[in-house]
Structure 1
Amino acid sequence: MRIAVVQMLSGTSPAENLREVRAAVAGAAAGADVVVLPEAAMARFGIPLGPVAEPLDGPWAEGVREAAASAGALVVAGMFTPAPDGRVRNTLLITGRGVDTSYDKLHLFDAFGFAESATVAPGDRPVTVELDGVGLGFATCYDVRFPGLFTGLADRGARVILLPASWGAGPGKARQWELLVRARALDSTCWVVAAGQADPATVGDPPRTTAPTGIGNSMIVSPLGEVRARLGGEPGTLVFDLDPAETDAARAAVPVLANRVDLPPAPPPAG
């Protein structure tokens, strides 16, 4: 399975970002089965998200669908969709090769002084699809800190987990990003394909917001936690031929999913 990871640098204009997405998908899709773009490919964080949000049948999503159809690839791209309560949802559009679905980020980034939940409503379900007989699962950015989601995706048939992100910068954050991606691959014995927003500073535009605008460091990690390929901080595309059979080999060697023990519920606090 050939995977293309597009590490883009989203701006504030959905129309301009869509043009970049179209170009990136067309350029990355020479033989690629899957093209993964970052979280917030539609528009970067740090701006009002309500005015840019569109439904899944709106023009931005339709533009991504057209790009996927032209490329003959499954395309995963982060966008924002309206939520019933007036907030938005942080949505992955998953489209192409006979698949058309979406995943709404479950775990919202209320950490490091940022409150994603103030403007974003959480999703309510994990999502897996099948492509050419291979189960794919989906997670977004802060989800990577929650191992139960990744083992749950594996339980639902995922052998590869696609992880778009717009990781927040800060002391130690790049090391945390790599550690967490590798740990989730080991927890689930899945390939993890982590596609991050590029670092604005690499193009001379350091972020002027506390919002998570990306640090780059996209990577592809094996089911045994090995970083097989990675990018630096700058925009770019990473193409990698991934063997789903390595998931089966890893699970035979280190059957952590089969060896799990269900713990009893915690007792109530004393007193």
Structure 2
Amino acid sequence: MRVALCQISVGDDPHENLQTALGAIAEAAATPGGADLAVLPEATVVRFGNDLAAAAEPLDGPFVTALRDAAREHGTAVVAGVFEPASGGRVHNTVVGIDADGGLAGSYRKIHLFDAFGDRESDDVAPGDKPVVLDLAGTRVGLITCYDVRFPELARALVDQGAEVLVVPAAWAQGVFKEEHWTTLVRARAIENTTWVVAVDKAPDRSRPPRGAPGGVGRSQLIDPMGTVVADLGPFPAVRVADLDPGVTAQVRAFLPALEHRRPDLF
């Protein structure tokens, strides 16, 4: 399985952001050997600090429709973060999964909202209430959005539901030690679940959004079930295609059967 980590910049104009996303998908598909799955960041429509309700669209709206058309054109499955309208003037922070034939495989609404480090995501975003595993590129993919990665019980629930790969789109907030937290947490989710993790953050903001602090630390990573970082995209916009071998998971679990050693009778 060939996975494209699409560490794109996301700004204040949804039209420009869509063109950037479509360009990243095209670049991934044009890589020798192509890509089975292209993963874009959280909040691909518009960066946080803008009027999210004004940018939100239903999943049959023009933004997701354009992503579906691109997936079909290039024969590449796509995961991307968007905003859906919600009640009370808020939105859902949603990750969509799109098949290589352009079909909508499903969606996940972010459960854990970033009310931390002085931010209040819940002022603008309504939480989801269900973990989601999708069939994409012939693989069971569990979806985790940004702040969700701080909650290991979500990743474990996804693995228990059959997830073979954990995909983590993010717009990780900048700040003291935040890059360290990001790189540590995504590796921890791989190690403790002996599974592949595809963690894609947006490229760091180089300017302050209309309100709030800049976001994105970059450092998008592909991590194998032993916690080895197979790819690390660093701090700048980039598209990287790398091989993800599902057979490694079985090999690791054969000599590190930590999931079998759990004690559900106690915990």
Q: Which amino acid aligns with 2:62?
A: P
Instruction: Give distance in 1, aligned partners of 2:250 and 2:23.
Output: 35
What is the aligned counterpart of 1:170 among 164, 167, 175?
Answer: 175
Distance 1:73 1:132, change over 3 A: closer
- How far is the alpha carbon of 1:200 from its aligned partner? 2.2
Is the contact between residue 99 and residue 136 of structure 2 (CA under 8 Å) also seen in structure 1?
no
Instruction: State the secondary structure of the residue aligned to 2:15.
Output: helix
Partner of 2:45: 42
Name the Cα RMSD after superposition.
1.6
Question: Could you state the TM-score of these two structures normalised by the residue count of structure 2?
Answer: 0.93
* Structure 1 residues 65 and 249, CA gap change in structure 2 (3 angstroms): same
Matches within 5 A, 1:48-127: 48-97=51-100, 99-100=103-104, 101-127=106-132
- Calculate percent identity across the aligned residue pairs: 48
C-alpha deviation, 1:65, in angstroms: 0.6
Find the counterpart in structure 2 of residue 11 from structure 1: 11
Q: Please say which of residues 253-262 and 232-241 is displaced more in the overlay.
A: 253-262
d(CA) in 1 for partners of 2:210 and 2:217?
14
Q: 2:248 aligns with which of 243, 246, 249?
A: 246
Moved >6 Å (runs of 4+) = none
Provide TM-score, normalisation by structure 1: 0.92
Match of 1:244, as an amino acid? Answer: P
Letter in 1 for 2:255: A
> For the Cα contact (< 8 Å) 2:142–2:165, is it kept in 1?
yes
Q: Residue 51 of structure 2 aligns to which amino acid in structure 1?
A: P
Alpha carbons 1:4, 1:237 under 8 Å: kept: yes
Structure 1 letter corresponding to 2:183: E
Other-structure match for 2:236:
234
Between 34-43 and 244-253, report the one with greater CA deviation: 244-253
Q: Is the 8 A contact 2:48 2:209 kept in 1?
A: no
Which string of whole-angstrom CA distances, capped at 9 and with x for unpartnered residues, describes residues 97-145 of structure 1? 2551111111111110101011101111111122354211111100110
Deviation at 1:228, TM superposition (A): 1.1
Deviations 1:51-109 (A, max 9, x none): 10000011111111111111101101111001133310001111122551111111111
Give the whole-Å Cα distance in 1 for the aligned partners of 2:21 and 2:204. Answer: 17
Q: Distance in 2 between matches of 1:243 and 1:136?
A: 14
The separation in 2 between residues aligned to 1:116 and 1:261, in whole angstroms, is: 35
Corresponding position: 1:219 with 2:230? no
Q: Which runs of 5+ in 1 are unaligned?
A: 266-271
Aligned CA distance change for structure 1 residues 263 and 117 (closer, same or farther; 3 Å): farther
